[in-house]
């Protein structure tokens, strides 16, 4: 999973990057996926009899919002299970007043439980099932990605260690513990395609949000999305990439953490511009950055050709966190 150094960087930077967007936001729209109601106006954070309390879904908040507004998510401990699109002039903010989605540590999750009856025995302690979405899949154990074993194209499954998994020819394989079956685990897989899609929109900020479990991308800055600002975002366990940027789009990725994604933590496509600041792009399951075009800047310096991993320079605070982690 993620390193202590990465978490220190995100935690230390996120408060700094939240402040400017909070000061410049317009109307506030509250979202709560437990107590909210999509009939409400979202004007207040607590449920009220007059329907001015929070809405239940982010999609409904986006229907109510205009550029410059601030959508505030409640971190309820339950994931927001939806796929959202931020599109068009109405949702476009300005540099001084962007549209803000403030996650407060909430989770946007595109996975659903695997039915126990979907599994079939393969051999030994290995079971398999065939998901509906076969490409770029991800498996989750208790809501987090377990260890994935890469299998080159044309190869078959050989061995998996306990609680490891792999994807081969559209089949998802999982190795159980002794005397257990897949039904004994809380297993889920990606069912929704993309967590957040930005298309032909300008000046949008997404802050302090975890995006996971989507079959393709956690966040796709798709085409002509300009002035996108991602700060304090964790994008993990998505089938293709944590973040994809392409098609004449521009994005700043600051104090973010990308890891456990299937093909790339960050994927850049032709004509885009991406500026990465104090972020961790881990090389644990896929390259930190896959370069298929565009211009990419790492802490102010242009870089080319992709990277296995990208991480900020070490600081005394990070070294202290490592020492504490090693002592535990």
Residue 295 makes CB contacts below 8 A (sequence gap 6+) with 272, 273, 274, 302
Strand, coil or helix: what is 108?
strand
Residue 326 has pLDDT above 60, yes or no: no
155 and 214, same structural domain?
no
Looking at residue 327, what is its pLDDT? 47
| Domain-embedded: residue 50 | no
pLDDT at residue 328, as a whole number: 43
* Distance in angstroms (rounded) separating the CA atoms of residues 299 and 303: 10
Residue where one domain finishes, among candidates 137, 159, 190: 190
Domain that holds residue 16: 4-27+65-110+193-317
Q: Determine the average pLDDT of the residues in 145-171.
A: 87
- pLDDT for residue 15: 53
Average pLDDT score over residue span 78-85: 97
The answer to whether residues 22 and 73 belong to one domain is yes
Q: In this predicted structure, what is the pLDDT of residue 20?
A: 55
pLDDT at residue 166 greater than cutoff 50: yes
Mean pLDDT in residue range 172-179:
96
3-state secondary structure at position 267:
strand
Q: Are residues 91 and 203 in the same domain?
A: yes
Domain final position from 165, 190, 215: 190
How far is residue 301 from each of residues 236, 280, 308, measured CA to CA in Å?
26, 16, 17
- Distance between CA atoms of 243 and 230, rounded to whole angstroms? 10
pLDDT band for position 221 (50/70/90)?
very high
Q: Are residues 168 and 203 in the same domain?
A: no
Position 60 in a domain: no
Question: In this model, does residue 129 exceed pLDDT 80?
Answer: yes
Do 139 and 215 share a domain, yes or no?
A: no
CB 271 within 8 A of CB 290: no
More confident site: 121 or 19: 121
Residue 317: count of CB within 10 angstroms of its CB = 12
Q: How does residue 10 score in pLDDT terms, banded at 50, 70 and 90?
A: low
pLDDT beyond 60 at 37: yes
- Tell which of 139, 163, 190 closes a domain: 190
Same domain, 218 and 289: yes
Residue 241 pLDDT greater than 50, yes or no: yes
Instruction: Output the pTM of the full model.
Output: 0.87
User: Looking at residue 26, what is its pLDDT?
Assistant: 84
What pLDDT is stored for residue 135 in this prediction? 78
What is the average per-residue pLDDT within 249-256? 98
Mean pLDDT rounded to a whole number for the chain: 90
As a whole-number percent, the residues of the chain with pLDDT over 90 amount to 78
Report residue 317's pLDDT band, with 50, 70 and 90 as the boundaries.
low
Residue 244 within any structural domain of the chain: yes
For residue 269, the cross-strand partners are: none
Condensed to tens digits (0 to 9), the pLDDT of residues 295-316 reads: 999 999 999 999 999 999 876 5
Q: What percent of the chain has pLDDT over 70?
A: 88
pLDDT surpasses 80 at 144: yes
pLDDT of residue 80: 98
Is the predicted pLDDT of residue 325 greater than 50, yes or no? Answer: no
Q: Please state the domain count of the chain.
A: 2
Per-residue model confidence (pLDDT) at position 150:
84
Give CA angle at 263 (14, 117), nearest 5°: 100
In a domain, 229, yes or no: yes
């Amino acid at each position: 999973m993620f390193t202590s150094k990465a978490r220190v960087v995100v935690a230390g930077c996120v408060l700094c990057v939240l402040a400017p967007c909070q000061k410049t936001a317009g109307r506030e729209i509250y979202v709560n996926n437990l107590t909210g109601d999509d009939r409400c106006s979202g004007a207040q954070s607590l449920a009220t009899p007059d329907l001015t309390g929070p809405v239940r879904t982010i999609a409904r908040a986006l229907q109510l919002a205009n550029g410059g507004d601030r959508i505030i998510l409640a971190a309820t401990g339950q994931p927001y299970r939806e796929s959202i699109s931020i599109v068009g002039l109405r949702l476009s903010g300005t540099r001084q007043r962007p549209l803000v989605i403030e996650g407060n540590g909430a989770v946007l999750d595109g996975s659903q439980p695997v039915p126990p009856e979907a599994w079939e025995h393969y051999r030994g302690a290995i079971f398999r099932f065939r998901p509906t979405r076969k490409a770029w899949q991800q498996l989750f154990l208790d809501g987090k990605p377990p260890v994935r074993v890469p299998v080159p194209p044309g190869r078959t499954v050989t061995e998996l260690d306990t609680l490891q998994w792999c994807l081969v020819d559209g089949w998802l394989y999982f190795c159980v513990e002794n005397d257990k079956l897949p039904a004994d685990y809380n297993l889920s897989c990606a069912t929704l395609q993309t967590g957040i899609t930005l298309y032909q929109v300008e000046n949008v900020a997404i802050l302090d949000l975890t995006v996971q479990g989507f079959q393709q991308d956690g966040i796709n800055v798709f085409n002509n999305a300009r002035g996108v600002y991602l700060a304090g975002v964790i994008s993990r366990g998505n089938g293709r990439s944590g973040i994809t940027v392409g098609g004449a789009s521009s994005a700043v990725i600051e104090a973010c953490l990308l890891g456990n994604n299937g093909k790339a933590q960050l994927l850049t496509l032709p004509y885009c511009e991406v500026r990465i600041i104090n972020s961790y792009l881990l090389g644990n399951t896929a390259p930190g950055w896959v370069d298929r075009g565009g211009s990419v800047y790492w802490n102010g310096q242009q870089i080319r050709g992709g990277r296995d991993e990208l991480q900020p320079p070490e600081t005394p605070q990070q070294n202290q966190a490592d020492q504490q982690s090693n002592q535990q």
